[in-house]
Amino acid sequence: MNVGDRHYRTIWLNEDGRSVDIIDQRWLPHDFRIETVGTVDGIATAIRDMWVRGAPLIGVTAAYGMALQTLDDPSDEALDAAWEKLHETRPTAINLRWALDEMRNLLRSLPNGERAKAAYKRAAEIADEDIELNRGIGRNGLEIIRAIAAKKKPGETVNILTHCNAGWLATVDYGTATAPIYLAAAEGIPVHVYVDETRPRNQGAQLTAWEMVGHGVPHTLIVDNAGGHLMQRGAVDMVIVGTDRTTADGDVCNKIGTYLKALAARDNDVPFYVALPSPTIDWTVGDGLKEIPIEERSGDEVSLVWGKTASGEIAQVRVSPEGTTAGNPAFDVTPARLVTGLITERGVAKASREGLRELFPERRG
């Protein structure tokens, strides 16, 4: 998407033809920094420490990590070691495993001498495919926003609540949950977005809000606990979020706090949609609550908050006593029964095994 008057993806091949350049999201919205990463270890660090984050972007970044490995040692053993190193960075987003498997399965089928060229080609394809998947999500989600707008008085605003950042910063471009919002805004539908700040890392306050400002989408930053209150008062027409892993039965794993939004939405008859590209579907898992590993991140992310001081310095401050231990589960699971629909690149599916197989018949059986 555009940053100022220049178009950016979140990740791109460096002119050296081997490293990748990334937007280092840790410093947004206060500083726009590009980092060049040229080793598998560097890719692992960038994912683990959330220089890049968001399920689809994590997958693409890992794909380039496998490509980098082929330049140093393309052997099966070295690829296996790289697979393990990258896979262990973050356990929840299925796109990571999906992309690593895509790359390793391809490369194992080739002679060592052909692996580097094929790896970079495939990694670039996965990045381009992500954009096309998100365009499809945008088109399909736009129909929902159009239908809501049609029931309102002419010019009346469609109020959408979103949690965390499932925007273009979570993907290569366009985003998943934000793709329909950007298309709706572009065609003149009056949309307004309630942006959950999304503690503890504030992906909403720091990233989604930055995206909304950058694209002129009217929005209001709210604390995570305000969503239910707003829904009770009819201030929210729909909720749309992303996901890091959705099961074959339609259970949705997403940023911590999503489940609570889904409960409030159900209690107030607010449609609750999840936007996802098909690589985010884990066809091997049915019961999300039982089977999806939930990443536990450092409690320091809860106790320490990044921000910009009055003097313009980007710094961390402690918000809790030194002696307090903080828990930090990074995701939760929203049962399919609370999900109105799954907005995929192929259409909107009911959040169920049958609903997903209507759109993905090749997954039957």
Ligand X SMILES: CSC[C@H]1O[C@H](OP(=O)(O)O)[C@H](O)[C@@H]1O
Residues in contact with ligand X by CB under 6 A are 53-56, 164, 166, 170-171, 176, 203, 241-242, 244, 254-255, 330
Binding residue ranges: 53-55, 90, 203, 254-255
> Do the bridges between strand 272-275 and strand 238-241 make them parallel or antiparallel, or are there none, so unpaired?
parallel
CB atoms within 10 A of CB 284: 10
| Burial of 212 (C-beta count, 10 Å sphere; 0-12/13-18/19+) | buried
Q: Which helix (H) or strand (E) holds 230?
A: helix 227-232
Q: Which is nearer to ligand X, 122 or 245 (CB)?
A: 245
Q: What's the min distance (Å) between Cβ of 167 and ligand X?
A: 8
Q: What's the min distance (Å) between Cβ of 166 and ligand X?
A: 4
Binding residue ranges for substrate: 53-55, 90, 203, 254-255
Q: Which helix (H) or strand (E) holds 84?
A: helix 76-87
Q: Which is nearer to ligand X, 116 or 333 (CB)?
A: 333
Distance CA 90, CA 296 (A): 9
Q: What's the min distance (Å) between Cβ of 236 and ligand X?
A: 18
Q: Which is nearer to ligand X, 199 or 255 (CB)?
A: 255
Known active-site residue 287: no
Token pair of 244, please?
A: 């890091």
Of 244, 251, 282, 332, catalytic: 244
Q: What's the min distance (Å) between Cβ of 37 and ligand X?
A: 17
Q: Where are the beta strands (DSSP E) in 198-353?
A: 219-222, 238-241, 245-247, 252-255, 272-275, 281-282, 304-308, 314-318, 331-334, 341-344, 347-349
Q: What's the min distance (Å) between Cβ of 254 and ligand X?
A: 5
Q: Which helix (H) or strand (E) holds 160?
A: strand 158-162
First to last CA, the chain: 39
Q: Which is nearer to ligand X, 149 or 184 (CB)?
A: 184
Q: Which is nearer to ligand X, 70 or 198 (CB)?
A: 198
- Provide φ and ψ at 360, rounded to 5°: -125, 65
Question: Looking at the annotation, which residues are catalytic?
Answer: 244
